[in-house]
Amino acid sequence: MRTEWKIFAPIAVFFLVVGVIYGFFTKMSEPIGVVALLLAGATCSIIAVYLAITSRKIDRPEDRADGEIAEGAGELGFFPASSIWPLWTAATMVLIVLGPVFGWWISLIGLGVGIWSLTGWVYEYYRGDYKH
């Protein structure tokens, strides 16, 4: 199969072609649009090349005609348990953003709460029930 890169390659070609056509028809009177389209094409090209190179290095059972479903079984990854720390981090951002509106002292409180909440989120798996 190895179709990952085949998804991004046509998108990259589309953006590059449309960028050149757009630049031709606008006579470069709006260079930001041309640059945006060309950069979008370049970004999709980078992703397509990365996926093409990576797919050659990985041997997956779904890429072979004789591959079995059971060959792909195994650990899928680490999925964390529910956590309260993203809520506290979001509340921190609310305090920091509301600071310039109602008073800078609220942003200072938000920075203090932010240090606490971000530290709790980062070190969540180093203490308590989920310690590794």
| CB under 8 A, 24+ apart: contacts of 45-51 | 45/8, 45/9, 45/12, 45/16, 47/8, 47/12, 48/5, 48/7, 48/8, 48/9, 48/12, 49/5, 51/4, 51/5, 51/8
pLDDT at 66 over 90: no
pLDDT of residue 15: 98
pLDDT at 3 over 90: no
| pLDDT, mean of residues 88-115 | 95
| pLDDT, mean of residues 111-131 | 86
pLDDT of residue 90: 96
